[in-house]
A and B are shown apart, each in its own frame.
Chain A
Amino acid sequence: MNKRKLWPLLSLLVIVSMLAVACGGEEATATPKPEPTEAPAATAAPPTGGELEIFSWWTAGGEADGLNAMYGIYSGKYPDVEIINATVAGGAGSNAQAVLATRMQAGDPPDSFQVHAGHELIDSWVVADKMEPVTSIFEENDWLDSYPPGVIDVLSYDGDIWSVPVNIHRSNVLWYNKAVFADNGLTAPTTFDEFFAVADALQGAGVTPLALGDNGIWAATHLFESVLLGSMGPEAYRGLWDGSTDWNGAEVNSALETYTQMMEYVNEDHAALSWDQAAQLVADGDAAMTIMGDWAEGYFKSIGMTPDVEFGYVPSPGTAGTFIMLSDSFGLPKGAPDRDNAVAWLTVCGSKEGQDAFNPLKGSIPARTDGDRSLYDAYLQSAMDDFSSNEIAPSLAHGAAASTGWVTAFNDVMTLFVADLDVDSAQEGMAQACADAGVCE
């Protein structure tokens, strides 16, 4: 055999050994993972070491700062636990959900993961029997009286609580530019009649009345849930999600008609903008109002505006007295590799100390009713007041009211509706989405 003939054999050897090393390496990292501990209830020994992997989509800004503040509290209590911050970027967690699904299906759950409280968690992971209930954590810490019953309702399924909420955002808020309103001698609208009167006046003055940024279609769904609540009231609105309110009924029809009318007052480039670009239109005075969750307040403040001075806020038209909530929460997956550490983490998440560290930075209010008011700004204080006194309703656009499959189908209906404004076909599509989700009929 001459020298040249040896080369192919040699390179083959190199390739094979490289493959062997690559496979071996993967195995090496996979094996030392401890076997999941089997325990009947969520009680646990205090952490003495090991790791804690927290999965979330909080990668930047105030929310990342808030998460780090909670990590700080945890590390102060359990200095021997190494925290692994597993984050996946992407608005509202759309990419994170895909990554989480892959890991859960592969039997490799994180110790705890961020999820919108309510049906987003329940209809996906709880019914699939992938979660442990956290009711005992609530009981051991005497939290059941610290959270409003409306919140416990959203978190509960089949007699158990399934995640620990760290914050509450409000969805039905109308934000407005105070200077624009003052220049035109207007006051913030509280009913649809007032809204359309104000909108006509603004349009006459050459200002876009309502800013919308539905490049991510959830923003259109977000606006529509406020309109739904405003036209039918909290009881009928809540009934939409358990099948007791008819999607083919007159109330939904009138909400769709109102939405159609509102679209006449919306910036013409709404489909090209994101929600924050829409908020920027309001900040610049090109538009007067926008209906967005109260993370918009964080945006206004981040560009140097002062609440109650440069921008104002009221509940969206017709929704005073009701608080559409959405909540970020953390759950306990079955087979969490470091279960004791995760239970301790959830205890920090649900504590007053943890929530008062997280929320002022994130720009949301605590899910508990006993938060320290002095830590929060004027808007958040008013939201805390409303949260403890108002009726509470779950948000559709943000996973509290309906399963992710239902929300996706609903978003598809909205995508068609914002383009053709065909009320009948939208109503038919919404009824179909409810039926497909297994809730109606």
Chain B
Amino acid sequence: MSHARRERWIAFLMVLPSIILIAIFVYGFIAWTTTVSLSKWDGVEPDYTWAGLENFKQLFTKEGGVSAKRFNIDLWNTLFFTVLFMLACVVFGLLLAILLDQRVKGEGIFRTIYLFPMALSFVVTGVVWQWIFAPGTSTRLRGVNALLHAVGLDALRWKWFTETNEIWHFHVALIPVIIAAAWQLIGYTMAMYLAGLRGIPEELREAARVDGASEIGIYRHVVMPLLRPITFSALIVLGHTSLKIFDLVYTMTGSGPGFATDVPGIFMFETTFQGNHYAQGATISVIMLLMVALVIIPYLIYTFRQEVEL
């Protein structure tokens, strides 16, 4: 056996266990879930009778009744939640990173404070922010509403995550949930941007200054373009987190009145494990997988191309 061949063989053996495990526990189960989503399994007994796309049709057309209504709301909620959550994380994460990059005193302490929420589980975050945003009644205010009342800002009091109003398809009750989710992941985005900022050679900024660029101009034309790959990575991580979000919403608000804060993950959990509608649950899972794939695949193509270039 030649040296090179043996080398390759060992490398293959090294990754073999993980290939097998991933083949079974990721792709195997994706295949199985897809099979169930195309079946008539409704009830505790497995039933793999072919149903075609009937389950998908039920979720997207009027025929599905309340289920279709709920799923429609869920998709809008996911869209608005994802967009606003990513926007908040990127904007505030970048802002914090730029501020920290000014070589402030005690940078380590600030960095730890901003990063700390990421160490918590979404469940903890959900419970704590549920207390904070619990609206209370007018005779006994709670959380933020009590605080607003104490400082005389009663005009700003509202029902927070129990509000049922919507603006076009955007349930305003999602705002507190977005705040909680962003609170948890802004520190993470900040850390990524900070690393990126530190990676930009000082010479580039110097050169721009010599050429007469203003400080704002330097950020706009030198720093931001160099941070683009970081923004891209951050959006991928944040995007698939928010498309699959379950634990935070489940512990913080649940479905909410009129499904104001419902997401596909909660619908999937309830319909499968409480309603025993396994085929419907699998269908929702498959749709969630497709949504995440829409975000991830462009990223994979992008990184693959970069690797090839390298």
Contacts and interface: CB of A to CB of B under 8 A. Distances in A.
B275 interface: yes
B176 to A, nearest CB: 10
B254 to A, nearest CB: 6
Interface string B125-144: 00000100011111110100
Interface in B260-277: 260, 262, 270-271, 273-277
Q: Does more than half of chain A's interface fall in helix, strand or loop, or is it mixed?
A: helix
Q: Choose among A206, A271, A403, A404 the residue with the greatest number of B CB atoms under 10 Å from its CB.
A: A271
Interface residues of A, number: 52
A98 B66 CA distance: 23
Interface stretch (B40-48, B90-98, B99-107, B115-123): B40-48
B274 A404 contact: yes
A413 B66 contact: yes
A100 B134 CA distance: 33
B136 A269 contact: yes
Contacts of A269: 134-137, 142, 159, 162
Interface string B210-231: 0000000000000000000000
Interface stretch (A7-15, A71-79, A253-261, A294-302): A7-15
A420 B165 CA distance: 10
A355 interface: no
Interface stretch (A123-131, A189-197, A318-326): A123-131
B164 interface: yes
A364 interface: no
Contacts of A123: 43
Contacts of A407: 275
Interface residues of B, number: 45
B13 interface: yes
A105 interface: yes
Contact of B42 (A216, A217, A267, A405): A405
B134 A272 contact: yes
Nearest to B261: A271
Interface string A413-440: 1011011100000000100110010000
A65 B277 CA distance: 34
B66 A409 contact: yes
Given A216-B254, A405-B277, A413-B66, A104 B44 contact: yes
Contacts of A206: 139
A94 interface: yes
A16 interface: yes
Q: Choose among B46, B258, B262 the residue with the greatest number of A CB atoms under 10 Å from its CB.
A: B258
B271 A408 contact: yes
Given A269-B134, A272-B134, A415-B259, A8 B14 contact: yes
A415 B161 CA distance: 14
Nearest to A428: B65
Contacts, number: 121
A393 to B, nearest CB: 23
Interface in A110-128: 123-125, 127-128
A286 interface: yes
A429 B69 CA distance: 11
A214 B256 CA distance: 9
B219 to A, nearest CB: 42
Contacts of B17: 15-16, 19
Contacts of B14: 8, 11-12
A431 B52 CA distance: 26
Nearest to A267: B137
Contacts of B65: 429, 432, 436
Q: Choose among B70, B253, B255 the residue with the greatest number of A CB atoms under 10 Å from its CB.
A: B255
Contacts of B67: 409, 412
A405 B275 contact: yes
Contacts of A105: 44, 46
Contacts of A286: 137, 139-140
B139 A128 contact: no
Q: Choose among A12, A206, A217, A405 the residue with the greatest number of B CB atoms under 10 Å from its CB.
A: A405
A420 B135 CA distance: 19
B275 A124 contact: no
Contacts of A273: 134
A215 interface: yes
A436 B255 CA distance: 22
B77 to A, nearest CB: 13
Given A19-B17, A408-B275, A416-B259, A128 B66 contact: no
Given A16-B17, A404-B276, A418-B258, A268 B43 contact: no
A416 to B, nearest CB: 6
A60 interface: no
Interface string A197-230: 0000000001010000011110000000000000
Interface of A: 8-9, 11-12, 15-16, 19, 94, 97-98, 101, 104-105, 123-125, 127-128, 130, 206, 208, 214-217, 267-273, 281, 284, 286, 403-405, 407-409, 412-413, 415-416, 418-420, 429, 432-433, 436
16 contacts: A8-B14, A97-B273, A98-B273, A105-B46, A124-B43, A124-B44, A214-B257, A271-B161, A271-B162, A272-B162, A403-B276, A405-B43, A408-B277, A415-B262, A418-B258, A436-B65
Interface of B: 10-11, 13-14, 17, 42-46, 65-67, 69-70, 130, 134-140, 142, 159-162, 164, 253-260, 262, 270-271, 273-277
A-B pairs, top 9 by smallest CB distance, nearest first, are A419-B258, A408-B275, A98-B273, A271-B162, A419-B257, A419-B164, A271-B257, A128-B45, A432-B65
Given A8-B11, A104-B44, A420-B258, 18 more contacts: A8-B14, A9-B10, A94-B273, A124-B44, A125-B44, A128-B43, A272-B160, A272-B161, A281-B137, A404-B274, A405-B42, A415-B259, A418-B257, A419-B164, A419-B257, A419-B260, A420-B164, A429-B66
